[in-house]
C-alpha cells in the first residue's frame, strides 16, 4: 500500500507540474503573441509601412509630408480615419488591394482616393463652430533684376467662421456651412464644369460651365460629390510648392543673402537647370551641388562673400532636392495646389465667370469676397494706393454684379474717382487702378489677364 501510495503521489506531482508548466508556457505564449500582435499592429499603422511596404507611393510624398504642417499626422489618420481600433481592424482589409499592386506593379497615383470625409477627420482638430477671425498674410517676392528688388504684398483673408462670419455674405469658408455639390471628370479635380448649391431654405441653384457642359450620362457615370475641406486644401499633407516661391521665402528669412548680385535671377536659372535632373536624392545631391558651384562667381572673393555663397549653396541644395523627382515625367506642376489661384486655377475652377445658372447669372467673380484688395509696397517704387472711400458712402450696385471683376473696366465713369481717385490703368502702382498685385499678371483658368 505504501509503495502504491508513493507512486500515486509521484504521478500527481508530475501531473501538477505538467499542468503548471503547460499553463505557464501558454500564458507566456499568449503574452508574447499579444505583444507581437500589438507591435505588428502599430507597425502596420506607421508611415513607413504605409509608404514603402503596403504600397509604394511617390517617394517624394514622404519627403513632402515630413516638411508639411501635418508632419505629425500619420497616413492612417487621413486615409483610414481617426476611428476606434475595432473599426480600423474592419477597415484595414479594404486596403489589401494595395499589397497586390506592390506585387504585380501599378501606376503610382497622382491623387489620393482614400481620404475620409472632412467632417469626420479634418474637423476633429479644425472645429468650424469655434470663433475664428480674418487673417492677415504678407507675401514677399523678389524680382530677377540685379538688385533682386523686393515687393511685399499684404492681404487680409476673409477666413472668419462662426459668429464672426455673419457680417460677411460669402467669405472663404462659406463652403463649410453650405452644401455645395460638384462634378469633375478629372481625378485631380483641376476642372469643375458643374456646381450645385443647396441653400438653407431647401432650394437649389445649379451652375454649368457654358464652354464644357457635362451631359446627364456624365453626371450619372461620375455622380457629383459634396465639397470637402481637402478639395481646396489639397496640399496640406504633401505640399509640392513652386521652388521659385521657396527661394523668395529663403531670401525673406535671410537664408539667402540678397546682397549677392542678381541672386534671385541666379536661383531661378538653377531651378530651370535642375528641373532636367531626376533620380534618388543621394544620386542627385552631387549633381545639384555641381550646378550650384558652376553658377558661382569665378573672380576672387572676400571671406564675407564666400560665407554668403556657402549659405546660398546650402539653401539652394535644400530647395532643389525638395523639388526633385525620381521620374522625368513628374515635377511640382503635376501636383496642383487648389488653394488660391497663383500657379493653378484653384478658386477659378468655379469662380471664373463662365459657370451660369438657368437665369444666366454667374457664380460670383469678386476678389473681395475672399480677401480685401491687396496692398503692395514696392522697394524704390510707387506701390498700391488704397481707396479713399468716405464713411457712410455705400458702393454702387455694379460692385455686386456676379461677374464684376471680369468686366469692371467697362463700367468706369467719372463717378468712380470719388472713391478711387485718379483712374489710370497700369501695373506699377501710384494710383488705385495700377495695383501691381492685380494687373500685369495672368490668372490660370480664368481665361483673362490684366496686363495693362
For residues 13 and 67, which has the higher predicted lDDT (pLDDT)? 67
Task: Give residue 201's pLDDT band: very low, low, confident or very high (50, 70, 90).
Answer: confident
| Least confident residue range of 305-319, 332-346, 384-398 | 384-398
pLDDT > 90: what percent of the chain? 39
Give whichever of 155-164, 198-207, 348-357, 361-370 has the largest mean pLDDT: 348-357
Helix (H) or strand (E) holding 179: strand 179-183
What pLDDT, on the 0 to 100 scale, is given for residue 420?
85
Confidence of residue 423 (pLDDT cuts 50, 70, 90): confident
pLDDT in tens, 350-363: 999 889 999 988 99
Task: Examine the pLDDT at 184 and tell me if it is beyond 60.
Answer: yes
> What pLDDT sits at residue 25?
83
237, 73 contact by CB (below 8 A): yes
Q: Which of 280, 270, 226 minimizes the C-alpha distance to 246?
A: 270
Cell of 174: 462659406
- Judge whether residue 154 has pLDDT over 80: yes
- Could you give the CA distance from residue 298 to residue 45 in angstroms, rounded to a whole number? 52
Question: What is the pLDDT at residue 451?
Answer: 44
What are the backbone angles phi and psi of residue 112, rounded to the nearest 5°? -80, 140
DSSP 8-state symbol, 239? -
Q: Would the pLDDT of 140 be above 50?
A: yes
pLDDT of residue 394: 77
What's the pLDDT at 55? 67
- Name the more confident of 52 and 66: 66
Q: What band does 194 get if pLDDT is binned at 50, 70 and 90?
A: very high
What's the rounded mean pLDDT across residues 31-55? Answer: 81
Q: Which of 95-104, 220-229, 386-395 tops mean pLDDT?
A: 220-229
pLDDT for 161 equals 64
Lowest mean pLDDT among 56-60, 112-116, 128-132, 445-449: 445-449
Running DSSP on this structure, what letter comes out for residue 452? -
Is 429 within 8 Å of 383 (Cβ atoms)?
yes
Whole-number Å distance between alpha carbons of 286 and 38:
42
Joined together, the cell numbers standing for residue 449 give: 489677364
Domain assignments of the chain as residue spans, ordered by start: 47-116, 135-235+337-450, 243-334
Any idea which of 10-24, 300-314, 326-340, 381-395 has the lowest mean pLDDT? Answer: 10-24
**Residue 80's pLDDT is what?**
84
Q: Is the sign of the CA dihedral 255, 261, 264, 269 positive or negative?
A: negative
Residue located via cell numbers 519627403: 63
**pLDDT tens by residue, 165-181:** 444 456 788 887 789 99
Do 101 and 127 form a contact (C-beta atoms < 8 A)? no
- Provide mean pLDDT across the span 188-211: 91
Lowest mean pLDDT across 249-253, 289-293, 298-302, 378-382: 298-302
Mean pLDDT in residue range 177-200: 91
Between 274 and 210, name the one with better pLDDT: 274
Evaluate if residue 416 carries a pLDDT over 90.
no
Is 348's pLDDT higher than 90?
A: yes
pLDDT of residue 224: 94
Angle value at C-alpha 175, between 363 and 404, nearest 5 degrees: 25
Q: What average pLDDT does the structure give for the chain? A: 85
Distances (CA, A) of 214 to 88, 204, 218, 446: 37, 18, 6, 19
Tell me how far apart the alpha carbons of residues 215 and 418 are, in angstroms, rounded to a whole number.
48
3-state secondary structure 117-163: CCCCCHHHCCCCCCCECCEEEEEEEECCCCCCCEEEEEEEECCCEHH
Q: In this predicted structure, what is the pLDDT of residue 8?
A: 65
Q: Read off the C-alpha cell for 166.
A: 455673419
Is residue 382 predicted with pLDDT exceeding 70?
yes
Instruction: Look at residue 11 and tell me whether its pLDDT is greater than 70.
Output: no
Amino acid at each position: 500500500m505504501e509503495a502504491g501510495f508513493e507512486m500515486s503521489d509521484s504521478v500527481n506531482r508530475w501531473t501538477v507540474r505538467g499542468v503548471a508548466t503547460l499553463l505557464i508556457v501558454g500564458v507566456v505564449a499568449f503574452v508574447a503573441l499579444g505583444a507581437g500582435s500589438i507591435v505588428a499592429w502599430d507597425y502596420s499603422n506607421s508611415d513607413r509601412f504605409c509608404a514603402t511596404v503596403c504600397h509604394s507611393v511617390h517617394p517624394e510624398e514622404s519627403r513632402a509630408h515630413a516638411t508639411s504642417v501635418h508632419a505629425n499626422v500619420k497616413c492612417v489618420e487621413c486615409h483610414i480615419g481617426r476611428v476606434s481600433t475595432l473599426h480600423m481592424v474592419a477597415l484595414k482589409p479594404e486596403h489589401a488591394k494595395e499589397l497586390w499592386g506592390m506585387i504585380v506593379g501599378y501606376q503610382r497615383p497622382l491623387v489620393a482616393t482614400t481620404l475620409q470625409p472632412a467632417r469626420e477627420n479634418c474637423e476633429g482638430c479644425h472645429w468650424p463652430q469655434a470663433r475664428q477671425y480674418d487673417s492677415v498674410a504678407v507675401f514677399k517676392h523678389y524680382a530677377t533684376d540685379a538688385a533682386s528688388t523686393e515687393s511685399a504684398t499684404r492681404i487680409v483673408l476673409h477666413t472668419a467662421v462662426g459668429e464672426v462670419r455673419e457680417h460677411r455674405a460669402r467669405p472663404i469658408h462659406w463652403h463649410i456651412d453650405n452644401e455645395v455639390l460638384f462634378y469633375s471628370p478629372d481625378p485631380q479635380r483641376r476642372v469643375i464644369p458643374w456646381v450645385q448649391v443647396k441653400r438653407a431654405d431647401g432650394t437649389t441653384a445649379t451652375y454649368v460651365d457654358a464652354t464644357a457642359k457635362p451631359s446627364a450620362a456624365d453626371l450619372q457615370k461620375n455622380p457629383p460629390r459634396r465639397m470637402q475641406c481637402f478639395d481646396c486644401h489639397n496640399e496640406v499633407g504633401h505640399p509640392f510648392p513652386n521652388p521659385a516661391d521657396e527661394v523668395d521665402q529663403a531670401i525673406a528669412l535671410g537664408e539667402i543673402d540678397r546682397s549677392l548680385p542678381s541672386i534671385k535671377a541666379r536661383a531661378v536659372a538653377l531651378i530651370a537647370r535642375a528641373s532636367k535632373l531626376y533620380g534618388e536624392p543621394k544620386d542627385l545631391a552631387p549633381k545639384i551641388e555641381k550646378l550650384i558651384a558652376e553658377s558661382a562667381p569665378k573672380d576672387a572673393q572676400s571671406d564675407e562673400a564666400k560665407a554668403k555663397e556657402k549659405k546660398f549653396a546650402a539653401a539652394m541644395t535644400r530647395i532643389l532636392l525638395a523639388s526633385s523627382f525620381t521620374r522625368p515625367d513628374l515635377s511640382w506642376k503635376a501636383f496642383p495646389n487648389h488653394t488660391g489661384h497663383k500657379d493653378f486655377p484653384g478658386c477659378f475652377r468655379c469662380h471664373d465667370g463662365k459657370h451660369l445658372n438657368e437665369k444666366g447669372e454667374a457664380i460670383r467673380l469678386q476678389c473681395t469676397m475672399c480677401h480685401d484688395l491687396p496692398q503692395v509696397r514696392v522697394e524704390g517704387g510707387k506701390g498700391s494706393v488704397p481707396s479713399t472711400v468716405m464713411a457712410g458712402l455705400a458702393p454702387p450696385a455694379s460692385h455686386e454684379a456676379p461677374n464684376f471683376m471680369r468686366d469692371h473696366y467697362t463700367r468706369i465713369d467719372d463717378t468712380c474717382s470719388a472713391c478711387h481717385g485718379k483712374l489710370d490703368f497700369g501695373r506699377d502702382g501710384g494710383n488705385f487702378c495700377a495695383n501691381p498685385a492685380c494687373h500685369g499678371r495672368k490668372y490660370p483658368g480664368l481665361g483673362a489677364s490684366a496686363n495693362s
